[in-house]
């Protein structure tokens, strides 16, 4: 009997809090598989007073029965992955028997990071705001058919030859080959691995990285990441057909944030934006950069719902809005006097149609059902459900992994 694979992904500009949601849902699955991105993506899970930050290993790591798979659509820095595996082992997480890495995943090497930094410097004021970790150049090499895959580590001489052709020095080559050898026990035929588990009826959860509005094809190009972050990317990133996809759930913050440059229509440039950043702890997991903050954008949200054919939505960080007297929702864009959709939006010239709804003063961290929320908080969640036109599955009401309301 074959099983279907469900997807959880971000539906804004990343940083929606996907990690803790995958952590929760993973308890009901046998495998959590990541389908794209690299160590430019950060996933945080808060357990009591401890925060676990992951960059490559899937977020189901705290569920001891779950297998953790890094798919062929990902680009992986071996040094980062090895460091993460060591830190997980140090806190008692069983790594060797649970983590597997697709042989088709591409390798991020030091010269990729160097190219990334040089390209950003060359762009000057038009810099894209990349993390500088070499993710884009690694994907460029993949498309140019000059990249290294983890399968290539089976032939170290070939790895050395390719790296020399790319300008790597002897030390970088030796380090890469050594890392490949240390990771050999984790590398598997990625297509066979996942297909076997689906055919055996295993429950599989597919984890997205970044957010839908950063998709290389359908995001705010060119201010996007270098991979496909939408639901369709799960198929190409893992080597499974669309018929294998079951339920798709999207994660949205109760407001919006963005890191780096690029269009962000609902951004607040006043004390309210600063307050969202302060109360939400809006600083990048990987870079530490302050995030730009703004109201919930209904136009962008509906676009993400359509891109991903969502079956349900999860709302995170509702607690950050506690204490706001009024809360804005961007309901429409106008450009030159006419209504435009997300794809047509010109950030610099947009006029926004904003609805303001009453806020709430009460703390909500102890609520465990949506019905327990203060009246205005509950009304806000209901309004978001109407906007998205899909059921709200879950609402987070605090940073700790147990602070969730259904």
Buried b (16+ CB within 10 A) or exposed e, 19-55: bbbbbbbbeebbbbbbbbbbbbbbbbbbeeeeebebb
- List, in sequence order, every beta strand (DSSP E) within 38-84: 43-47, 50-54, 67-70, 75-76
End-to-end Cα, the chain, rounded Å: 32
Taking the C-alpha atoms of residue 5 and residue 302, their distance in angstroms, rounded to an integer, is: 24
Tokens 């597997």 identify what position? Answer: 100
Tokens 């506690």 identify what position? Answer: 322
SS3 content of the chain, % helix, strand, coil (to 5): 40, 25, 40
Facing residues of 329 across strands?
296, 355
Token pair belonging to 151? 């399968």
| 400 φ/ψ angles, rounded to the nearest 5 degrees | -70, 145
Catalytic (active site) residue 43: yes
Taking the mean position of all CA atoms in its chain, how far away is CA 275?
A: 24
Exactly one of 6, 15, 39, 297 is catalytic; name it.
Answer: 15
Structure letter (DSSP) for residue 149: B
Exactly one of 6, 30, 39, 43 is catalytic; name it.
Answer: 43
Buried b (16+ CB within 10 A) or exposed e, 269-282: eeebbebbbebbeb
Taking the C-alpha atoms of residue 199 and residue 155, their distance in angstroms, rounded to an integer, is: 31
Taking the C-alpha atoms of residue 230 and residue 316, their distance in angstroms, rounded to an integer, is: 19
The 10 Å Cβ neighbour count of residue 120 is 17
Catalytic (active site) residue 106: no
Q: Is 102:124 a contact under the CB 8 Å cutoff?
A: no
Nearest to 238 by CA among 293, 198, 283: 198
Active site amino acids:
15, 43
């Amino acid at each position: 009997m074959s099983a279907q694979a469900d997807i959880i992904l971000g539906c804004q500009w990343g940083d929606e809090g996907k990690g803790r949601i995958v952590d929760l849902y993973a308890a009901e699955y046998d495998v959590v598989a990541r389908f794209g991105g690299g160590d430019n993506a950060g996933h945080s899970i808060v357990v009591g007073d401890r925060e676990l930050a992951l960059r490559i290993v899937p977020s189901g790591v705290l569920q001891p029965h779950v297998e953790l798979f890094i798919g062929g659509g990902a680009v992986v820095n071996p040094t980062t992955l090895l460091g993460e595996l060591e830190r997980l082992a140090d806190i008692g997480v069983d790594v060797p028997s649970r983590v597997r890495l697709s042989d088709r995943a591409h390798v991020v090497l030091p010269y990729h990071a160097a190219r990334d930094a040089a390209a950003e410097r060359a762009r000057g004021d038009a810099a894209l705001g990349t993390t500088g970790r070499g993710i884009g150049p690694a994907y460029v090499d993949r498309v140019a058919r000059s990249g290294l895959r983890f399968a290539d580590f089976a032939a170290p001489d070939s790895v050395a030859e390719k790296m020399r052709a790319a300008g790597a020095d002897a030390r970088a080559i030796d380090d890469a080959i050594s890392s490949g050898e240390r990771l050999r026990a984790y590398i598997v035929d990625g297509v066979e691995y996942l297909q076997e588990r689906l055919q055996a009826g295993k429950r599989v959860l597919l984890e997205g990285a970044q957010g839908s509005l950063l998709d290389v094809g359908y995001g705010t190009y060119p201010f996007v990441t270098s991979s496909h972050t939408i639901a369709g990317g799960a198929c190409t990133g893992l080597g499974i057909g669309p018929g294998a996809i079951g339920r798709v759930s999207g994660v949205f913050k109760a407001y919006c944030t963005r890191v780096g440059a690029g269009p962000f229509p609902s951004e607040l440039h006043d004390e309210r934006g600063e307050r969202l950043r302060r109360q939400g702890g809006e600083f990048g997991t990987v870079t530490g950069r302050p995030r730009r903050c703004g109201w919930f954008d209904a136009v962008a949200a509906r676009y993400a719902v359509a891109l991903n054919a969502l079956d349900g939505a999860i709302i995170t960080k509702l607690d950050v809005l506690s204490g706001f007297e009024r809360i804005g929702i961007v309901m429409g864009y106008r450009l030159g006097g006419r209504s435009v959709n997300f794809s047509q939006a010109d950030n610099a010239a947009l006029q926004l149609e904003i609805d303001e709804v009453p806020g709430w003063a009460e703390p909500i961290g102890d609520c465990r059902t949506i019905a327990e929320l203060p009246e205005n908080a509950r009304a806000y969640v209901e309004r978001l459900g109407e906007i998205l036109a899909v059921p709200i599955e879950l609402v987070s009401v605090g940073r700790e992994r147990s602070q969730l309301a259904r």
